[in-house]
Amino acid sequence: MIFKQLLEADSSTYTYLIGCPETGQAILVDPVIDTVERDLQIVKDLGLTLVATLETHVHADHLTGARRLKQRSGCRIAYPKMLALPCADIGLQEGEPFEVGSIALHSLFTPGHTDHHHAYLIDTPVQKLLLTGDALLIEGCGRTDFQSGDAGALYNSIHNKLFSLPDETLVYPGHDYEHRFVSSIAQEKARNPRLGGGRSKDAFVELMNGLDLPYPRKIDFAVPGNQACGECPANVPEQFRGPCAASDQG
């Protein structure tokens, strides 16, 4: 398996490139419109063909690169099936593996950050890799104070779905703001200051409800844009319109 973790610095978003050496097929998980050209070049340099983009959820902090990647490469767009987005070509849901050549991604329904959030588990002969999106972060977790968030649901998702995986499972988050790259289920169960160390559900909900975090700076255009698979809405502020202009030009 070919696996690369790629960073978009402005939103601290990790995009994941997963490729099958046998078939040359590749996917990008949670691509960002700002880094479409970089990602396409990496796919080309590796001699791969991009067949799909996968989203863990409708993001509020960046515009997805899914639509532009489809325009440029002909790949398909995959979102959680429960959203029933007209722009999506593929619907993903728990119990239905998504295959990239010989590689299978297993969707795990993990609501809480949003009500449709999914994580993706790759079970290789050597190691289990878990792409946790915005649910479980390294020594943190996703916000639950907007966009159908629910702290109790997130606690259940992480404890019942993610923390039930083997301790050695590697955790690759959707974001990191402290220059960290990978964790493990064992480490997060022991050290995560929000969810680890046996913290109770009631204590977690109280903590999340009291965070008083700032309003996300891109949410007003990112959510509607991502519900259209990365279309740039008219209300994108001038300072964020650069990638949109490139996309509009095809």
Residue 151 to residue 171: CA distance in whole angstroms = 20
Give a yes or no: residue 143 inside a domain: yes
pLDDT at 245: 79
Mean pLDDT, residues 92-97 taken together: 98
Give a yes or no: residue 13 inside a domain: yes
Mean of the per-residue pLDDT values of the chain: 96
pTM, whole model, 2 decimals?
0.96
Residue 135 in contact with residue 175, Cβ under 8 Å? Answer: no
pLDDT tens profile 189-220? 999 999 999 999 999 999 999 999 999 999 99
The region, left, alpha or beta by phi > 0 then psi within -120 to 50, assigned to residue 63 is beta
Please state the separation of Cα 52 from the chain's center in Å. 14
Give the H or E element holding residue 226.
Answer: helix 219-227
| CA-to-CA separations, 198 to 106, 158, 167, 193, 201, in angstroms, rounded | 27, 12, 15, 10, 9
Give a yes or no: residue 117 inside a domain: yes
Residues of the domain holding 32: 2-232
Give a yes or no: residue 151 inside a domain: yes
Give a yes or no: residue 87 inside a domain: yes
Give a yes or no: residue 250 inside a domain: no
pLDDT tens profile 125-169? 899 999 999 999 999 999 999 999 999 999 999 999 999 999 999
Q: What is the CATH number of the domain that holds 76?
A: 3.60.15.10
pLDDT at 247: 54
Nearest alpha-carbon partner for 157 in 198, 115, 98, 186: 115
pLDDT at 250: 45
Total domains in the chain come to 1
Q: Kindly provide the b/e burial profile for residues 200-238, where b requires at least 16 CB atoms within 10 angstroms of the residue's own CB.
A: eeeebbeebeeeeeeebebeebbbebbbbbbbbbeebee
Give a yes or no: residue 243 inside a domain: no
pLDDT tens profile 109-122? 999 999 999 999 99
pLDDT tens profile 37-78? 999 999 999 999 999 999 999 999 999 999 999 999 999 999
Q: Kindly provide the b/e burial profile for residues 18-29, where b requires at least 16 CB atoms within 10 angstroms of the residue's own CB.
A: bbbeeeebbbbb
* Number of other CB atoms surrounding residue 126 within 10 Å: 7
Give a yes or no: residue 183 inside a domain: yes
